[in-house]
Chain A
Amino acid sequence: MEQLAQFYAVYGSVINFIGINALLALSLNFTLAAGMLSLGNAAFAGIGGYTAGILTVHLKAPLIVSLCGGSLMAGVVGLLLGMPVLRLKGVFLAMATLAFGEVVRIAAVNLDITGGAEGLTGIPNITRTWMIFLALALAAYFMATLRRSRIGWGLISIREDETAAACLGVDITYYKVVAFTIGAMVAGFAGAMYAHLNYLITPRDFGFFIAVDLLVYNIVGGTRIWYGPILGAALLTALPEILRGVGVAAGPVRLAVNGVILLLVILFLPNGLASLFTRLRPVAVKTGRAERT
């Protein structure tokens, strides 16, 4: 028991970040499940974080109100953004969400209420580890269940082939917007919890490179099953500590290990680390004949 307390004293903040990152990775998985490549979820986390921080600092709202407010705000923005941008596909959707993320970041730098480039300070440190992991468990359960529901079948059909899905009665636009909005709400909630973990949030906490990290967590862990993104986020968030444990100093080597892991996974485990634990089907191979039309 004492050892456990000691472990927590040393690694508590890593454990918290694993939970937050896993939740953020999961939020992106809602969009990836339908084959949509979004780089906007870091910005949704930012919207959630700033909204919640402002609610707490300026309006003295209780934590649960701030968390839900942040999540809701991110969801509303996700809904408004999703309707126009989800017509775009592939890298173009990625670029549009990236541009959106930059606009959000620039707004956070320039607004007074967000505290500008120095960030929003004075947010009480009241998120607890159990809250993070409760939220993560609920989101993971929701994700796992969603996949077996009507929405889940629709989303996966869209990922596989949009035209065929539409001809089976799947309302493509509606399902995409729903998935995008749910993802935004989960990201917003995670961002809101993050804000109350740190005293301070700054625009840098939610930039382009965070968005890329979320994608990387998903790919390394595996996008096709609910625990894939959690696995990826946990491994890559803990990796610096693990490497420190085996004596690798901070800096270039750690970074290189990150890159090499990612490269090896994408080359040899296209369904991510999760495919080591379940029998997931391999990614389709291009056949000679033209299958896209």
Chain B
Amino acid sequence: MNLSVDNISRSFGGVQALMDVSFEVELGTIHGLIGPNGAGKTTLINILSGVLPPTHGQVLYQGLSLHHLPAHQVAALGVARTFQNIRLFPTMTCLENVQAGQHLTAERPLMPRLLRLPSAGREDRELEERARDNLVRVGLGDRASHPARSLSYGERRRLEIARALALNPSLLLLDEPVAGMRRGEAAEVADLIRSLVQGGMTILLIEHNMAFVMEICSCITVLNFGRVITTGSPDAVRRHRDVIEAYLGSERGDA
């Protein structure tokens, strides 16, 4: 019943971005995915979220295979994600971004709205309330009516998390959630992620910030040139010879 990534390969034209990638993510844990730039991490998240199909291999989550489903059906199974190159809805406010994220958890039926039934207004108020809670959760409670574009880099990343949380996901895929954040801000996100896992969520996250990854992940998979070097506990990964080499070899150990 874990999330299992089974022999996933993916190529773009001649570029082999992923090659026979396999590992398991235990439910209810924080799993890290690290590796030098271009290792294929984002490609893997794209495959897990249904944005890209794999060339080979399969993904099983809660006993269902995800790899042939389109993105919206993957989302319907409770898998949410954020993007490395932030993809907010730029002309919407922060609150509206989160409300748009409620697509699967809200009914918003057309008929009662056309007929002006009170149930419609009630639902809208409840949804707005929930969206505000999500914003508060990521520390953007006071930004609700600001346009998403006006946020700082770190705030945008947090808003993307809030929007993803609006799905009530059971599995959350985070692509570099603290990139570009100040230390204090990153620590807040770390606390948020821990609290999410305490609530039963499973998290797979990509991050270059080693201190961050080592601190919050219970298990880490290391990718290099599209292949898994190792999967193991932070301590085991830290001591792994090939990992040290991969990082020193590409001079991105601290990136």
Contact = CB atoms under 8 A, between A and B. Distances in A.
A137 interface: no
Contact of B87 (A146, A161, A290): A161
A171 B81 CA distance: 16
Contacts of A285: 149
Bin chain B's interface residue count: 35 or more
Given A167-B51, A291-B85, A156 B114 contact: no
Contacts of B93: 281
Contacts of B49: 167
B72 interface: yes
B91 A169 contact: no
Contacts of A157: 89, 100, 103
A150 interface: yes
Given A168-B101, A169-B104, A290-B85, A150 B72 contact: no
Contacts of B91: 160, 281-284
Interface string B18-53: 000000000000000000000000000000011100
B149 A150 contact: no
Nearest to B111: A149
B100 A167 contact: no
Contacts of A145: 110, 113-114
Contacts of A141: 114
A284 B167 CA distance: 26
A142 B114 contact: yes
Interface of A: 141-142, 145-146, 148-151, 153-154, 156-157, 160-161, 163-172, 281-285, 290-291, 293
16 contacts: A142-B114, A145-B113, A146-B110, A150-B109, A153-B100, A154-B103, A156-B92, A156-B100, A163-B71, A164-B83, A166-B70, A169-B76, A281-B91, A281-B92, A283-B91, A284-B90
